[in-house]
Amino acid sequence: MYSAKLVAALVLLGGLFSFAAPAFSYPIAPAQSSQFSSNAIEQVGWRCGPGRHMDRWGRCVPNRMRAYCGPGRHLNRYGECVRNRPAYRACPRGTHLTPRGYCVRNW
């Protein structure tokens, strides 16, 4: 009996708190003032224009396009197209494959 009353009270309180004060990111009806002729919402951004962005020094530079390298090639971190490494490489007898993909002699 105690747990049913507790659950009912928690549901009731949760419902009251959820509808107590609606949150708006912008007021529905802003106050109209004859002093200010500008809008209350100010557009920010587009300092550099479309297709450009600011680098860390504050200069406007063009956005880099993602290059397509073709089959068997990929884009490295410097923006160059390089050949893909094979997924599996067999080494001759007496050697083993290192994590960097080279065959070295077993000692």
Q: Could you give the number of structural domains in the chain?
A: 1
pLDDT in the model for residue 80: 83
Tell me if 10 is assigned to some domain. no
Domain that holds residue 68: 48-107
Tell me if 75 is assigned to some domain. yes
pLDDT in the model for residue 23: 63
Q: Which residue has the tokens 């919402």?
A: 41
Tell me if 23 is assigned to some domain. no
Tell me if 99 is assigned to some domain. yes
Q: What is the 3-state secondary structure (H, E, C) of the chain?
A: CHHHHHHHHHHHHHHHHHCCCCCCCCCCCCCCCCCCCCCCCCCCCCCCCCCEEECCCCCEEECCCCCCCCCCEEECCCCCEEECCCCCCCCCCCEEECCCCCEEECC
How does pLDDT run across 37-84, given as a tens digit for each residue?
Answer: 555 666 666 678 877 888 888 888 888 777 788 888 888 877 788 888
Tell me if 19 is assigned to some domain. no
Tell me if 11 is assigned to some domain. no
Tell me if 33 is assigned to some domain. no
Q: Which residue has the tokens 């504050």?
A: 58
Tell me if 102 is assigned to some domain. yes
